[in-house]
Amino acid sequence: MTQPIDELLATLEAAERSAPDPDAATAERVWQDIETRLRDGPPPPPLDDGPLFSAPPKGGGFGVLKVVGGLALLAAVGLGASASLGRPDAPAPTLEAPTPARLVAPLAEVEAEPEPELGAPPVPPDSPTPEPPEQAAEPEPQPAPTEPAATPKSKGKSKAKPAPAEPKTLADELALMQAINAALKANDPGETLDRVREHERDFPEGQFVEERRAAKARALCRRGKTQAGRKEAARFEARWPGSIHLASIRDDCGLE
């Protein structure tokens, strides 16, 4: 009879525990072998003889399964043991992305030369630029002689206009007539005529025109201007034929 799987596994586990720990070199070698198998994978099955899969022999199928299971268990235990051995941490390989090569061809730096400016032709640096001949300064046009402005001739001393006289009143006329009569009574024909002319100027159509004309005729005759006085007397009588002053006029002028 075959041994049960549980007992087989227990036996293998006990053997694993009782086995002495491998040294560091052995553990490193086992770990490298495991990494190689995990990276490369299992080798392909041989294809030279027989079919790809062959039927297991009769009566031995269960024994083969036990062997395979035991190997798998041993591999698992070996992996755990190798992990527990404290394998020195190897630096994990870092995969760097390939940097694309810069396909930039080095360019020769060519300094662009400044283009010559268009316009006047270039002048050699050594030859001095000819200066344009100085033009003779044109004489500034002199202003035409201006005739002196005619100064207005002074017309002599301008007479100051007298201030306009205030309007005369009846009282002023009466006062002037009193002055005429006073001069006439004083036998002053010259003063009488001056006052008569003043009355003619200030009161040409006053209230005492009749008295003024009578005094004028009398004063002319008294002053010796008899002919002028008599003419004035005739005009007076023609205008005022019934005047009370006719007798005095006739007496001074010698008229009947």
Going from the N-terminus, what domains does the chain have, and what CATH number goes with each?
Answer: 1-41+67-82 (no CATH), 170-253 (1.25.40.10)
Give pLDDT tens digits for 184-208.
Answer: 999 999 999 999 999 999 999 999 9
Q: Is the pLDDT of residue 138 over 70?
A: no
Give pLDDT, residue 148: 53
Q: Which two tokens stand for residue 26?
A: 């052995």
Give pLDDT, residue 178: 96
Give pLDDT, residue 249: 95
Which residues does 34 contact at the CB level (< 8 Å), separation at least 6? 78, 79, 82
Give pLDDT tens digits for 57-87.
Answer: 444 444 444 444 555 555 554 555 444 444 4
Rounded to two decimals, the pTM is 0.38
Give pLDDT, residue 62: 43
| Cβ burial 185-206 (10 Å sphere, 16+ → b, else e) | eeebbebbbebbeebeeebeeb
Give pLDDT, residue 159: 65
Mean pLDDT, all residues of the chain: 70
Give pLDDT tens digits for 141-163.
Answer: 666 656 555 555 555 556 667 66
